[in-house]
Amino acid sequence: MAMASRCARRLDRPPSIMRTVSDQLCPSGVVVSLPDAPLDDHVGAIEVLIQEGLTTFALPAACEAFAGVVAIFGARAVVGATRVADADGVRLAAERGARFVLADVASVEVASAAQEVGLPCHGSAMTPAEVRAALALPDGRVLLYPADVTGHAIAPRLRELGLIERVVALGGVGAYAAGEWLKAGAQAVCVDSTLLGDAYSGGSLGQLRDRCSSFVAVNRRQSS
């Protein structure tokens, strides 16, 4: 009920205020994309990631563990939602405590719903033309996916076109590519299996801790 009340208050805000709130909630630097998994599987991995200095996460909006992750780690981390394809998905993400949305589509429906609840929403795009179209949506932002197909070499081109500032790159991004995206001016990079490895399938959390170092270094270089 409390979350529903907060969502209702967001809906009452005028567009100019919603835009300001949205900007404040935007992900930046390295975002860790987490799988749809039981809460018990998330706890150990997320704790390691936070201890190592990675504190922004995204997981599927429909994940049953979403609210639990927010409840346990929300004071020390920022949690956003992935796999959002319609307005209902946006509202579910908001109800569960998401701070931003990385959507599977770039549509007026999804972008408008996110703006109504005061969440920044990055719509999926791949080519420069698709990026431009996503940026033209309400409070337009971009989830460039799959980034391992386009490659980080497209990042300087997007910068030349003035399209890079509100881009989050997702999909097979390793530490080197993450650094190149951020150096070109991308808002954030979302890393998944390149960092998590087998941590969610019985792998060593110690090895996950070791893999964090190169991604933490990327964050440090961006903030320096």
Band of residue 224 on the pLDDT scale cut at 50, 70, 90: confident
Band of residue 2 on the pLDDT scale cut at 50, 70, 90: very low
Residue-level pLDDT at 9: 38
* CB-CB contact of 112 with 131 (8 Å): no
CA–CA distance from 58 to each of 55, 78, 190 (Å)?
10, 8, 8
Distance CA 43, CA 41 (A): 6
CB-count burial class (<10 Å; 0-12, 13-18, 19+) for 80: buried
Q: Look at the chain and report how many structural domains it folds into.
A: 1
Residue-level pLDDT at 7: 43
Q: What is the pLDDT of residues 148-168, one digit of tens each?
A: 999 999 999 999 999 999 999
Q: Which domain holds residue 125?
A: 2-223
Here the CATH number for the domain that contains residue 52 is 3.20.20.70
Higher per-residue confidence, 1 vs 179: 179
Residue-level pLDDT at 24: 66
Q: What is the pLDDT of residues 72-130, one digit of tens each?
A: 999 999 999 999 999 999 999 999 999 999 999 999 999 999 999 999 999 999 999 99
Band of residue 25 on the pLDDT scale cut at 50, 70, 90: confident
Q: Mean pLDDT of all residues in the chain?
A: 90
Band of residue 23 on the pLDDT scale cut at 50, 70, 90: low
Residue-level pLDDT at 221: 87
Query: Strands 56-60 and 29-33, how do they pair?
Result: parallel
Q: What is the pLDDT of residues 171-207, one digit of tens each?
A: 999 999 999 999 999 999 999 999 999 999 999 999 9
Nearest residue to 57 (alpha-carbon basis) of 99, 118, 22: 99
